[in-house]
């Protein structure tokens, strides 16, 4: 079953990549010099004008519990409707004398803006989880990979999107997420 889910995730990722490549090919134009019809002018690249950076950061600290979260990301805007990009994620969660979790990974994201205020998203996430649990019977350690495939919808205003996303590969036994449905705030500058 897990292999079938991973195969579906790879098919969706490949489909998103092909759409992105197709859009970028049709979006390119060359300008011709009106004085000569044989050689086109060199088009100045404006790649960085289409790139936006953003992400999330968070944390909570106390006597018994600590949580630190950092998730930078970048997207490329193909046009006003489609964007795609990548992100990194690092999370450390610790509860004194109970557990320590370190989560590190990356993601690929595709965004579609059908209107000025609505944003649809698809995100493939791969996380490595290192966990140490302290029980009365002893300490256990585990290290595993977790794959998530999120589809989301959000309300967009300027460079901020508020929304909710659902993990199609959610498994309650994976010990990473407690639910498949997650709210999000996405900010890009």
Q: Is 2 a residue whose pLDDT tops 60?
A: no
pLDDT at 43: 56
pLDDT tier, 154 (very low <50, low <70, confident <90, very high otherwise) = very high
- Does the pTM surpass 0.75? The reply is no
pLDDT at 178: 84
Q: Is 75 a residue whose pLDDT tops 60?
A: yes
DSSP state of 24: H
How is residue 29 written in tokens?
Answer: 């134009």
In the chain, the largest separation of any two C-alpha atoms, in whole Å, equals 84
Query: Which residue's structure tokens are 């460079």?
Result: 159
Q: Is 34 a residue whose pLDDT tops 60?
A: no
pLDDT at 6: 52
How is residue 58 written in tokens?
Answer: 């968070």
Distance CA 127, CA 142 (A): 14
Q: What is the mean predicted confidence (pLDDT) over 74-99?
A: 93
Dihedrals φ, ψ of 86, to 5°?
-140, 160
Contact criterion met (CB below 8 Å) for 180 and 164: no
Count the neighbouring beta carbons within 10 Å of the beta carbon of residue 133: 15
Average per-residue pLDDT in the chain?
82
pLDDT at 98: 86
Q: What is the mean predicted confidence (pLDDT) over 35-46?
A: 56
pLDDT at 10: 54
Q: Which domains does the chain have, with CATH numbers?
A: 2-25+54-187 (2.40.160.20)
């Amino acid at each position: 079953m897990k292999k079938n889910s991973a195969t579906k995730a790879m098919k969706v990722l490949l489909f998103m990549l092909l759409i992105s490549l197709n859009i970028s090919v049709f979006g390119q134009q060359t300008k011709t010099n009106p004085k000569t019809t044989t050689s086109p002018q060199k088009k100045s690249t404006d790649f960085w004008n289409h790139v936006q950076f953003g992400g999330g950061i968070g944390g909570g600290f106390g006597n018994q519990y600590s949580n630190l979260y950092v998730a930078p990301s970048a997207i490329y805007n193909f046009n006003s409707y489609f964007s795609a990009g990548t992100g990194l994620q690092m999370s450390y969660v610790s509860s004194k004398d109970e557990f320590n979790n370190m989560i590190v990974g990356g993601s690929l994201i595709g965004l579609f803006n059908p209107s000025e205020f609505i944003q649809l998203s698809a995100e493939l996430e791969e996380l490595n989880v290192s966990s140490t649990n302290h029980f009365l019977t002893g300490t256990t350690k585990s290290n595993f990979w977790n794959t998530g495939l999120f589809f989301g919808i959000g309300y967009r205003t300027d460079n901020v999107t508020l929304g909710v996303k659902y993990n199609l590969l959610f498994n309650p036994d994976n010990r990473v997420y407690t639910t498949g449905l997650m709210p999000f705030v996405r900010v890009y500058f």
